[in-house]
Amino acid sequence: MNREYEQITNDILNNEKFKSLKEEVHHHNSNRYNHCLEVSKKTYKICKKLNLDYRSATRAALVHDFFFTDEFKNKKQQLLKHPKQALKNANQIMSLNEKEQNIIEAHMYPIGKKLPKYKESIVVDIVDDIVSIKEKIGGDFEYLKVATNFLFIIFVELLIK
Ligand SMILES: [Fe+2]
Ligand SMILES: [Fe+2]
């Protein structure tokens, strides 16, 4: 793991409650810990390249799905309310700035109603989608390429506005 990435995320990765996300099944083929880690590592690379606030983006991306299935009554409630719950759980283990809070709360936009207010929020929203598609369709790379390009076009459109 990259040294700088490690320094940025060290306290979160060593937290016991966060580590227990390894027991949570995510998108059938993954666990929630690995999902968060992958979204965070990709966010780190992209935000660093784009000269964005990669520290806030990387940390928020790591806890964007910091929730547990038994915190919800059903799948629908989980889908709609998990960003708020992730923020609540993250607040228990770290202090979050305004941008980090928005990144977590808005990562389900446009399914969720919370608007992404920062470029870093848009990056995490899109990286999360790409990683999720990859986890869901596994090795079907042709579909993955189409989906990734589609999300990339939206991303570029939003950035140049
Ligand atoms: Fe999520
Ligand atoms: Fe996610």
Q: What is the CA(160)–ligand 2 centre distance, in A?
A: 25
132 CA → ligand 2 middle, Å:
7
For the whole model, what pTM was predicted? 0.88
- Terminus-to-terminus CA distance in the chain, angstroms? 34
CATH number of 128's domain: 1.10.3210.10
Q: Of residues 147 and 39, which shows the higher confidence score?
A: 39
Q: What is the tally of structural domains in the chain?
A: 1
Residues contacting 100, CB < 8 A, separation 6+: 56, 59, 60
136-143 contacts: CB < 8 A, separation 24 or more? 136/27, 136/28, 136/29, 138/29
Smallest Cα–Cα separation from 59: which of 91, 114, 100?
Answer: 100
Please state, rounded to an integer, the average pLDDT across all residues of the chain.
91
Is residue 1 within 8 A of residue 51, CB to CB? The reply is: no
> Residue 52: how many CB atoms within 10 A of its CB?
19
Q: Give the E-state strand segments of the chain in sequence order.
A: 25-26, 30-31
Ligand 1 centroid vs 105 CA: distance in angstroms?
9
Return the percentage of the chain with pLDDT > 90, whole number.
73
How far, in Å, from the CA of 109 to the mean position of ligand 1?
A: 10
- Length, in residues, of the chain: 161
| Residue 7: predicted pLDDT | 98
In this structure, which residues have their CB less than 5 angstroms from ion ligand 1?
65
The DSSP letter of residue 108 is T
Cα of 64 from ligand 2 centre, angstroms: 6
DSSP code, position 94:
S
Distances (CA, A) of 133 to 12, 148, 156: 25, 9, 19
CA of 123 to the centre of ligand 1 (A): 14
Distance of alpha carbon 70 from the chain centroid: 20
**Close Cβ partners of 138 (under 8 Å, ≥ 6 residues apart):** 29
CA of 4 to the centre of ligand 2 (A): 23
Q: Which residues surround ligand 2, an ion (CB under 5 A)?
A: 65, 128
- Note down the domain range covering 122: 3-160
d(Cα 32, Cα 116) in Å, to the nearest integer?
22
| pLDDT tens for each residue of 133-145 | 888 877 666 667 7
Give the residues across from 30 on adjacent strands: 26
Q: What is the pLDDT of residue 139?
A: 62
